[in-house]
Structure 1
Amino acid sequence: MKKLFLLALILVGFCAATFAQNRKPEWATIKTPNLRCWECKKRLEDYMAREIAQTESGIIKTQINLLSGTTRVQYWPDRVNLNYIQTAFANAGFDADDIKAEPDSYKKLPPACKRVEEGGGPQKGKPCHMQPM
């Protein structure tokens, strides 16, 4: 009986370890419509670097596409969920899917990073998706 119990215990431990190791990071694409210039990109990258360092939140990396206004995020789903990531973007001052930017952070953004309907966005003849030289 002791051998059977020991075998069952080992089997449960092995299954639990296997399940934990099978977790893979996931990718999510978040619409970030007011994230269209290199300065905004730098702000979000700096904010997310601090977020990752301070909380070990499970966010692995971000890939920002300024031309399409989207950001891909790789994260560990057992540590963080998509709503947490969207809220982090909002706290940095940027809209993320259906979540609006936190007002105080949004006010600190430069004019090019503001929403188009509020007079923000790129200026005519001045592409802002490329860093000035």
Structure 2
Amino acid sequence: MKTVKTLITILFIAFSTIVSAQNKKSEKVVIKTHIICDHCKACETCGKMFQTKMLKIKGVKMYELDDEKETFTIYYNPKKTNVQSIKQAISKLGYDADEIKADPVAYENLDGCCKA
């Protein structure tokens, strides 16, 4: 009987953990940027930078770059970050983020094809 109660308790805890993990909400924001080149996602410099640094922004779970529309779609955890912090981080990568202009030093470090 003790074994059955223990097993039921363990199953209940496991089920509760799975359900609570699925309830973590993420939010989405679309941020306008300014991209000069038409190959940023594939660029040896910018593409790798996006892959490594965008996901290192605290709270960012996933991102999509639409170089035709010149937008970043960011999926993030609102408990860990906010839109303003994400925009600041994008600026530090050398790109405009809505009303926040690209950090001049980071912009100068971009490849020539990515600058006006």
Equivalents in 2 of 1:23, 1:101: separation in Å? 31
Asked if residue 43 in structure 1 is aligned to residue 49 in structure 2, the reply is yes
Runs of 4+ in structure 1 deviating by more than 4 angstroms, as ranges, are: none
List per-residue Cα deviations over 1:49-75 (Å, max 9, x = no partner): 3x24xxxx2110101111110010000
Equivalents in 1 of 2:73, 2:94: separation in Å? 17
Equivalents in 1 of 2:25, 2:36: separation in Å? 28
For 2:74, what is the secondary structure of its paired residue?
A: strand
CA contact (8 A) 1:35 1:69 kept: no
List alignment gaps of at least 5 residues for structure 1: 1-20, 115-119, 121-133
Equivalents in 2 of 1:45, 1:87: separation in Å? 17
List alignment gaps of at least 5 residues for structure 2: 1-21
Equivalents in 2 of 1:34, 1:26: separation in Å? 24
Equivalents in 1 of 2:76, 2:105: separation in Å? 27
- Please report the RMSD computed on the Cα atoms of aligned residues, expressed in angstroms: 2.3
List per-residue Cα deviations over 1:23-62 (Å, max 9, x = no partner): 510000000112643223432232223x24xxxx211010
**Seq. identity, %:** 33
Letter in 1 for 2:69: S
Equivalents in 1 of 2:84, 2:104: separation in Å? 18
Equivalents in 2 of 1:35, 1:89: separation in Å? 16
Matches for 1:24-39 after TM superposition, within 5 Å: 24-34=25-35, 36=37, 37-38=39-40, 39=43
List per-residue Cα deviations over 1:81-101 (Å, max 9, x = no partner): 000100110111111101011
Letter in 2 for 1:46: T
TM-score, normalised with respect to structure 1: 0.60
The aligned length equals 93
